[in-house]
Amino acid sequence: EQIQQINPHRFEFQQLDGIFFADRERVVIAGFRDLKDDEFWVRGHIPGRPVFPGVLMIETAAQLVSYYVVSERNDGKFLGFGGVDAVKFRGQVVPGDRLIMLGEMVEQRNGRKYVGLTQGFVDGRMVYEGLITGMFI
Protein backbone atom coordinates (compact mmCIF):
# COMPACT_ATOMS: atom_id res chain seq x y z
CA GLU A 1 0.00 0.00 0.00
CA GLN A 2 1.21 3.50 -0.85
CA ILE A 3 0.78 4.85 2.68
CA GLN A 4 2.85 2.06 4.28
CA GLN A 5 5.70 2.81 1.88
CA ILE A 6 5.99 6.27 3.47
CA ASN A 7 4.48 6.14 6.99
CA PRO A 8 5.72 3.51 9.48
CA HIS A 9 2.38 3.16 11.35
CA ARG A 10 0.81 -0.29 11.27
CA PHE A 11 -2.21 -2.21 12.51
CA GLU A 12 -4.48 -0.20 14.84
CA PHE A 13 -2.32 2.89 14.54
CA GLN A 14 -2.42 3.30 10.79
CA GLN A 15 -5.01 6.07 10.72
CA LEU A 16 -5.04 6.84 6.99
CA ASP A 17 -6.79 4.56 4.51
CA GLY A 18 -5.93 6.50 1.37
CA ILE A 19 -4.48 9.61 -0.24
CA PHE A 20 -6.49 10.99 -3.13
CA PHE A 21 -4.95 14.39 -3.85
CA ALA A 22 -1.59 16.11 -3.50
CA ASP A 23 -0.47 19.34 -5.13
CA ARG A 24 3.20 20.22 -4.75
CA GLU A 25 2.81 23.77 -6.05
CA ARG A 26 0.03 24.63 -3.58
CA VAL A 27 1.57 22.37 -0.87
CA VAL A 28 -1.75 20.68 -0.11
CA ILE A 29 -2.81 17.08 0.41
CA ALA A 30 -6.08 15.22 0.97
CA GLY A 31 -6.65 11.76 2.39
CA PHE A 32 -9.35 9.75 4.09
CA ARG A 33 -10.10 7.38 6.94
CA ASP A 34 -13.07 5.00 6.83
CA LEU A 35 -14.36 4.30 10.34
CA LYS A 36 -15.57 0.76 10.97
CA ASP A 37 -17.76 -0.89 13.61
CA ASP A 38 -14.96 -3.20 14.79
CA GLU A 39 -12.28 -0.60 15.60
CA PHE A 40 -10.41 -1.01 18.89
CA TRP A 41 -11.92 2.16 20.41
CA VAL A 42 -15.59 1.47 19.57
CA ARG A 43 -16.30 -0.81 22.51
CA GLY A 44 -15.02 1.52 25.21
CA HIS A 45 -15.25 5.09 23.90
CA ILE A 46 -18.83 5.89 24.84
CA PRO A 47 -20.47 2.44 24.95
CA GLY A 48 -23.74 2.40 23.03
CA ARG A 49 -22.79 5.64 21.27
CA PRO A 50 -19.25 5.24 19.92
CA VAL A 51 -17.51 8.46 18.95
CA PHE A 52 -14.12 8.59 17.23
CA PRO A 53 -11.69 9.93 19.88
CA GLY A 54 -10.36 13.42 19.25
CA VAL A 55 -6.80 12.29 19.91
CA LEU A 56 -7.14 9.83 17.02
CA MET A 57 -8.42 12.62 14.77
CA ILE A 58 -5.26 14.54 15.67
CA GLU A 59 -3.19 11.42 14.94
CA THR A 60 -4.91 11.06 11.55
CA ALA A 61 -3.99 14.67 10.75
CA ALA A 62 -0.41 14.11 11.93
CA GLN A 63 -0.06 11.06 9.68
CA LEU A 64 -1.37 13.09 6.72
CA VAL A 65 1.22 15.84 7.33
CA SER A 66 3.95 13.23 7.78
CA TYR A 67 2.99 11.48 4.56
CA TYR A 68 3.16 14.73 2.60
CA VAL A 69 6.49 15.93 3.99
CA VAL A 70 8.29 12.57 3.88
CA SER A 71 7.07 11.77 0.35
CA GLU A 72 8.16 15.22 -0.84
CA ARG A 73 11.65 14.95 0.68
CA ASN A 74 12.08 11.31 -0.33
CA ASP A 75 15.09 10.78 1.94
CA GLY A 76 13.74 7.99 4.16
CA LYS A 77 13.83 10.02 7.38
CA PHE A 78 11.09 9.82 10.03
CA LEU A 79 8.96 12.89 10.75
CA GLY A 80 7.93 12.67 14.40
CA PHE A 81 5.04 14.41 16.12
CA GLY A 82 6.26 17.76 17.43
CA GLY A 83 3.09 19.43 18.65
CA VAL A 84 -0.47 20.49 18.09
CA ASP A 85 -2.03 23.95 18.31
CA ALA A 86 -5.39 25.66 17.81
CA VAL A 87 -7.36 22.40 17.73
CA LYS A 88 -11.14 22.61 17.55
CA PHE A 89 -13.58 19.73 17.34
CA ARG A 90 -16.73 20.84 15.56
CA GLY A 91 -18.71 17.63 15.23
CA GLN A 92 -18.83 13.92 15.91
CA VAL A 93 -17.26 11.20 13.80
CA VAL A 94 -18.80 7.75 14.22
CA PRO A 95 -18.41 4.25 12.76
CA GLY A 96 -19.61 4.21 9.16
CA ASP A 97 -18.32 7.73 8.46
CA ARG A 98 -15.62 8.61 5.97
CA LEU A 99 -13.38 11.25 7.50
CA ILE A 100 -11.81 13.40 4.78
CA MET A 101 -8.63 15.02 6.05
CA LEU A 102 -7.10 18.03 4.29
CA GLY A 103 -3.68 19.49 4.94
CA GLU A 104 -1.83 22.59 3.80
CA MET A 105 1.80 23.14 4.72
CA VAL A 106 2.03 26.62 6.22
CA GLU A 107 5.53 26.71 7.74
CA GLN A 108 8.90 25.08 7.24
CA ARG A 109 12.03 25.85 9.25
CA ASN A 110 15.58 24.69 8.63
CA GLY A 111 14.41 21.60 6.73
CA ARG A 112 13.62 20.04 10.09
CA LYS A 113 10.36 21.54 11.40
CA TYR A 114 7.13 21.51 9.40
CA VAL A 115 3.69 22.88 10.31
CA GLY A 116 0.49 21.89 8.55
CA LEU A 117 -2.96 23.45 8.82
CA THR A 118 -5.32 20.46 8.88
CA GLN A 119 -9.08 20.12 8.61
CA GLY A 120 -11.38 17.12 8.84
CA PHE A 121 -14.76 16.77 7.12
CA VAL A 122 -17.62 14.28 7.22
CA ASP A 123 -20.37 14.60 4.61
CA GLY A 124 -19.16 18.09 3.70
CA ARG A 125 -19.21 19.51 7.24
CA MET A 126 -16.08 20.43 9.15
CA VAL A 127 -15.61 18.28 12.26
CA TYR A 128 -12.00 19.10 13.15
CA GLU A 129 -9.29 21.71 12.56
CA GLY A 130 -5.83 22.20 13.96
CA LEU A 131 -2.17 22.97 13.38
CA ILE A 132 0.13 19.95 13.39
CA THR A 133 3.88 20.32 13.89
CA GLY A 134 6.26 17.62 12.75
CA MET A 135 9.99 17.42 13.44
CA PHE A 136 12.54 15.12 11.87
CA ILE A 137 14.00 12.86 14.55
* Helix and strand counts by DSSP (H, E) for the chain: 2, 6
Nearest to 35 by CA among 59, 52, 58: 52
| Own/partner pairs, 19-27, CB within 8 angstroms, 24+ separation | 19/64, 19/67, 22/68, 22/71, 24/72, 26/104, 27/68, 27/104, 27/105
- Return the bridge partners of 126, or none: 121
Catalytic residue among 27, 42, 45, 91: 45
How many Cβ atoms are within 10 Å of 126's Cβ, its own excluded?
Answer: 15
45 belongs to the catalytic site: yes
CA distance linking residue 27 with residue 107, whole number of Å: 10
The residues annotated as belonging to the active site are 45
